[in-house]
Amino acid sequence: MFTCNPHHIPISVPGSLLTIGAAIQPQHRYTPPGVVHPAQPGLFVRHISHGAANNEVVRLLAMVDGEAVEAAAEASAAGVVMTVPGRGSLRLVCGLDGRIGMTLSGIGLRLERSTARPFDHVTVRDAQSVVINAPSCNGSWLLRCQHGSLNCDAPWQRVRSARFALDILPDASGHGIADLVSWRHCDNEPPHIDPDTLATDSTAAFSAWQAPFPATHPQWQPAVELAAWLLWSNQVGPTGALKRRVTYQSQYKMTNFWTWDCCFNALGLAPIHPDRAWEEFVGAFDHQADNGGLPCSFNDGQAHWNHAKPPIHGWTLSHLRALGVADRSRCQAILDPLARWTDWWLSHLGWSDSGIPVYTHGNDSGWDNASCFDVPPPFVAPDLPAFLALQLREQAAIARELGDPRAADWEQQASALVEALLRHCWQDNRFVARSLDGTICPGDSLLCCLPMVLGEHLPAPQRQAIIDRLSRENDFLTPHGLATEALASPYRAPDGYWRGSIWAPPVILLCDGLRRAGATELARRIAARFCNTCTRSGFSENFDPETAAPLRDPTYTWTASSMLALLQLFPGLNPDEA
């Protein structure tokens, strides 16, 4: 049975926006100079609604002899068990629709907030129930004690509770049962929760989800089990602006659905849960604008339109077709939305005389702060025409199968983009990014190797130049994967985000391109190194290129999915190939 430390891995169930885990710690935040984020120890109930960063509803503590104490904690699909040795234990189990069931055995449970935010408050309904109303967390909850007693300490301060401590204590036999349910003031009171039933149902659901995940090398099998957990527990919706069940990047910090992140999750799930993979992929198009554009991201509250994300959807769809996920009817349904997305890039952002659409910010590329974006935007970057060329070729392939006459035009557009890429971005035996006036952008970013994603469609001289560069040890290639900024570059920074850290997306994009270009041994070597890193350091947002230390958000689903996709792309891959 899968178990984990809830201080490191958030605990939830599919469809729920409530999670149990640690508060976001300072080392996992972006912290501008001079800003200090205090550490918050302990376990919390968190509400990951609307992408809120400050989403800690209550802190969880054990109660022993009238004192609140930290307790050892272990988690599984059956919930979080907090134990005080020699005294007792308690269990919290997540359920759908913002529910948590609680059982006490020998010890009590405190739910506390040491300081309240404006308008957050506790209202006592009766001796056995209170309402926690937390606008700052985008929700309110009804806390009910079914067996045992409930004590409330919540001093009032004008428009809020200055703080609160809600103690659920066992009865004389040492047992207690309580529940926390999402509840608006206009709602009828829901029925009580049976925590044991929740635990049984959750365990069975996760077992069924985990069963088809692949067996791999024994050294990597624990990572596959963790990947199964993350891709199960991070599913949310449908609710609010989430029109279907989708997978968030994390239930820790990155609590949104990004419209390119979903492509990697779809690839990882494709051979395991194909219907879920398809929902991930088409979810990107749920908020497509009339002119074809896609939002950067969205959550249950809203879509974010400040930036775009790169058009890797055609590349993804080609894999989903090859794996049998995208059958004829699905391809027919997605072809026009995909074509409108391509057209949006070509028309709406066709600002350059080069024939290549532009990025208006590094965020549009997904490589937010890469060194090549140190000059003022807009930028002509070499990855974008490569992605669009693949997307147009995929549209053409589907169109031919469906008898759609647009196939020839799309093939012609794809060829024109590759020609523009070579004409405008190839210089001195390497690809470069340029500002709109033609100036070469600074730095030595791995982004400029991404035309390799074209694989067999990239001409031999350019293909070989990238293969040679990626083969060179301690350049981009490190013992742990691919650095996003060359190790010798003065633009590389410790914990530099896209300025050196190892990320999953370029690993799988480049490994696939290398494989299709015939450089299979190099692709397998890079893939094995990345899988070793994930096994050693978990599925973090990114990793230190020299030590493999985990960086930023520690539980990232696209990292997990990318490892699964690499295992599918390279059958028999093993740690010794690194």
Last residue of a domain, one of 126, 159, 187: 187
285 part of a folded domain: yes
Distance of CA 110 to CAs 114, 143, 150, 151, 168, Å? Answer: 12, 12, 10, 9, 6
Report d(CA 430, CA 448) in Å as an integer.
8
508 occurs within a structural domain: yes
Both tokens of 217, joined, read 């090398």
**Tens-place pLDDT, residues 300-316:** 999 999 999 999 999 99
Count Cβ atoms within 10 A of the Cβ of residue 110 and give its class: 0-12 exposed, 13-18 middle, 19 or more buried.
Answer: buried
Clarify whether residues 408 and 538 are in a common domain. yes
Residue 210 within any structural domain of the chain: no
CB contact at 8 A, 287 and 295: yes
Give a yes or no: residue 138 inside a domain.
yes
Give me 246's structure tokens: 């989708």
Could you give the CA distance from residue 513 to residue 516 in angstroms, rounded to a whole number? Answer: 5
Query: pLDDT digits over 461-501, tens only?
Result: 999 999 999 999 999 999 999 999 999 999 999 999 999 99
Q: How many CA atoms lie within 13 A of 141 on its CB side?
A: 25
Which 3 state secondary structure label does DSSP give 165? strand
Which phi and psi (to 5°) does residue 18 adopt? -95, 135
Query: Residues 330, 461: one domain?
Result: yes
State the pLDDT at residue 25. Answer: 79
Instruction: In whole angstroms, give the CA distance from residue 418 to residue 459.
Output: 9
Task: Report the C-alpha gap between 504 and 353 in whole angstroms.
Answer: 33
459, 440, 439: which is closest to 451 by C-alpha?
Answer: 459
Q: Is residue 407 part of a domain?
A: yes
CA angle 327, 333, 336 (to 5 degrees): 125
Q: What percent of the chain has pLDDT over 90?
A: 92
Residue 451 CB neighbour total at 10 angstroms: 27
Considering only CA atoms, which of 117, 107, 77, 113 is closest in space to residue 95? 77
Last residue of a domain, one of 157, 187, 217: 187
158 and 281 share one domain: no
CATH value at residue 310:
1.50.10.10
Angle at 466 between CA 465 and CA 470, to 5 degrees: 125
The verdict on 156 and 242 lying in the same domain is no
- What pLDDT is stored for residue 341 in this prediction? 99
> What 3-state DSSP class applies to 99?
strand
> 98 lies in a domain?
yes
Altogether, the residues listed in the chain come to a count of 578
Q: Judge if 318 and 436 occupy the same domain.
A: yes
- Number of domains, the chain: 2
Same domain, 424 and 310: yes
Query: Does residue 246 share a domain with residue 141?
Result: no
- Beta-bridge mates of residue 473: 477
Domain of residue 481, residue span: 235-577
Residue with structure tokens 């020839």?
408
Give the pLDDT score at 132.
97
The DSSP string of 117-141 is: PTT-EEEEEETTEEEEEEGGGTEEE
Q: How far is CA 296 from the centre of its chain?
A: 13
CA distances from 506 to 101, 367, 405, 510, 513 (A): 41, 10, 34, 6, 10
Q: Quick check: is 33 in a domain?
A: yes
- Residue ranges, the chain, pLDDT below 70: 29-37, 53
